[in-house]
Amino acid sequence: MSSTEVRSTPLAALGEATVSVDAFVCKRVPKRVMQRLEVDDRVPATGNGVLLYPHIKRMLDIALAVVALAFLSPLLVMAWFWFSVKNGGRILDRKARAGLHCRPFDEYSFATDQRLLRRLPVLFNILKGDMSFIGPRAACPGEMCVECRSMPVAHKRSAVRPGLICDWWIRRHISLDYVREIVLDVAYVESTSFRKDAGIVLRALPGMITTLFWGDEPVEYPPRVEILNVRIDNLTMQGAVAGVVGLLDGRKPRQVCFVNPHYINEAFRVPAYKRVLDEAELVFADGFGTRIAGKILRRPIRQNLCGTDLFPRLCAALDEGARSIYLLGAAPGAAELVADWIRERYPGVVIKGCHHGFFSVAEEMAVVEEIARSGADILIAAMGVPRQELWLHRHLEQLNVKVAIGFGGLFDYFAGRVPRAPQWVREIGMEWVYRLIQEPRRMWRRYLIGNGLFLGRVLHQRLFPREWTVRPVENRIGE
């Protein structure tokens, strides 16, 4: 496979480099197989919406609020008297909010830190018509003014009542909040319907459960956390992409890794892989299970940095700086399809070469030399865990790249060979179930046994933290 430098000609049909991936369908792959990835923050085109449903929704809000207040009335009365005595007459907290058409109102809550009781008075806001059960987050007055000035259609967010749950709330509680809140809110207003709201309720259940057990998301996150003695750099998606791009200015080669429950299990099985994770420059949290582990251990994970979601955003960042990459891994032909995808979407990214991951030990050094001659800035490897991490670590100094990243099965997704789970499946944390159904023979041990093993280890660390004493990391690459 030649490593000759290839640079694409920009396509007139393409606008900015951050347009939605849904717009592109590779000619080699049926549309139903292509990945549904949200890369951009574009506000959707406006539409007429449904005229009757808002009235039906309002009646449903009133009915549900009345039923809930009637059912909870004994609890509300006891809480009212309890907080009156405990707080010296201060029963409710009031927070200024912007409601329908930006009209101000006070959102009610009990004057307590008890999360099971605190928000119950918001039922009175719903009954009064200040809020709805489902709708965009209740923002502070003036909070969205900047968005409205920069996006002509952003004002549509206030065309519906604010609510308790919404698309952005779901994404935030599952750590998939990559797309800006205002974009999701406007999309909701443009497509509001009973079916849409019913879907939001169902997709919000995992977030409701985690909130019930572990509370809402913290205001601040630690910059680093450790799950089962595996260090994780606790970054947002934007911060992770910026971190990788920032490594390109360094003099020494760096390695970047992802970890999810399966990878952490592998770190127990393969000590050499654990040492690679210890020495890696950046380690990103990937997967709903890692987030749950952070909740249990009270080490909250900021965002789910799934490699499949990070890759197109990384390409967009590299496109702006005309950086180069080399693609290594997967079956023969897969890397070339990924290269075609990149050229089509991000013409500023220079593809220095491609090579499949099914090479023998005898061919290994020839592959290393080919990558080194290419002069690529970043090596993207997709050869499976822990093989790719061990291979990259072993040859890091010889590869002549500034950053080497292992992405697991990434190429199969972007080559269109393996369909990714729909967005709603990811939002309820069940992408692993989708993968299990796709390849039960290959994945059953990883998910049915591995997930239980991982959860057992996490609970053990929670109950017996002294047995998980963290040892200092020594001899990190680049230090």
pLDDT digits (tens, 9 = 90+) for 109-140: 999 888 778 999 999 999 999 999 999 999 99
Q: Does 27 fall in a domain?
A: no
Whether residue 123 is found in the same domain as residue 244: no
* Burial label, 26 (beta-carbon count in 10 A; 0-12, 13-18, 19+): middle
Q: Does 23 fall in a domain?
A: no
- Can you give the residue range of the structural domain that contains 108? 53-214
Which of 196, 214, 232 is the last residue before a domain boundary?
A: 214
Distances (CA, A) of 453 to 41, 228, 244: 38, 12, 31
SS3 426: helix
Task: Render pLDDT for 55-85 as a digit per residue (tens, 0 to 9).
Answer: 999 999 999 999 999 999 999 999 999 988 8
Q: Does 316 fall in a domain?
A: yes
Whether residue 189 is found in the same domain as residue 253: no
Q: Does 12 fall in a domain?
A: no
Task: Render pLDDT for 193-217 as a digit per residue (tens, 0 to 9).
Answer: 999 999 999 999 888 888 877 777 6
pLDDT at 470: 54
What residues have CB less than 8 Å from 283, skipping those under 6 apart?
A: 230, 231, 232, 233, 256, 257, 258, 259, 277
pLDDT at 219: 66
pLDDT at 384: 92
Strands 282-285, 254-259: pairing kind = parallel
Q: Does 305 fall in a domain?
A: yes
Residue 279, Cβ neighbours under 10 Å: how many?
18
Instruction: Round to whole Å and give the CA distance between 190 and 46.
Output: 6
Which of 214, 242, 269 is the last residue before a domain boundary?
A: 214
Whether residue 282 is found in the same domain as residue 338: yes
Check if the beta carbon of residue 212 is closer than 8 Å to that of residue 116.
yes
First to last CA, the chain: 35
Whether residue 239 is found in the same domain as residue 107: no
pLDDT at 16: 29
pLDDT at 202: 93
pLDDT at 321: 84
Q: Does 13 fall in a domain?
A: no
SS3 321: helix
Q: Does 426 fall in a domain?
A: yes
Whether residue 311 is found in the same domain as residue 445: yes
Q: Tell me which residue has tokens 């009646």.
A: 59
Which of 164, 191, 214 is the last residue before a domain boundary?
A: 214
Whether residue 266 is found in the same domain as residue 388: yes
Ramachandran assignment for 359, one of left (phi > 0), alpha (psi -120 to 50 degrees), beta (any other): beta
pLDDT at 179: 86
pLDDT at 10: 30
Whether residue 285 is found in the same domain as residue 373: yes
Check if the beta carbon of residue 401 is closer than 8 Å to that of residue 253.
yes
Task: Flag residues of the chain having pLDDT under 70.
Answer: 1-50, 217, 219, 470-479
Strands 104-110, 92-98: pairing kind = antiparallel
Strands 378-382, 403-406: pairing kind = parallel
pLDDT at 24: 29
Tokens of 403: 């950053």
Residue 84, Cβ neighbours under 10 Å: how many?
13
Whether residue 318 is found in the same domain as residue 439: yes
Percent of the chain at pLDDT exceeding 70: 87
Task: Give residue 410's Cα distance to chain centre.
Answer: 15
Q: Does 19 fall in a domain?
A: no
Give 34-38 contacts, CB < 8 A, sequence gap 24+: 34/416, 35/308, 35/413, 35/414, 35/416, 35/419, 35/420, 36/420, 36/422, 36/423, 37/308, 37/309, 37/312, 37/420, 38/178, 38/179, 38/423
Q: Tell me which residue has tokens 């049926």.
A: 30
Whether residue 204 is found in the same domain as residue 239: no
**pTM of structure:** 0.83
Whether residue 306 is found in the same domain as residue 195: no
Whether residue 152 is found in the same domain as residue 73: yes
- Count how many domains the chain has: 2
Distances (CA, A) of 291 to 191, 209, 260, 305, 458: 30, 14, 9, 10, 11
> What's at 173, amino acid-wise?
H
Whether residue 189 is found in the same domain as residue 256: no
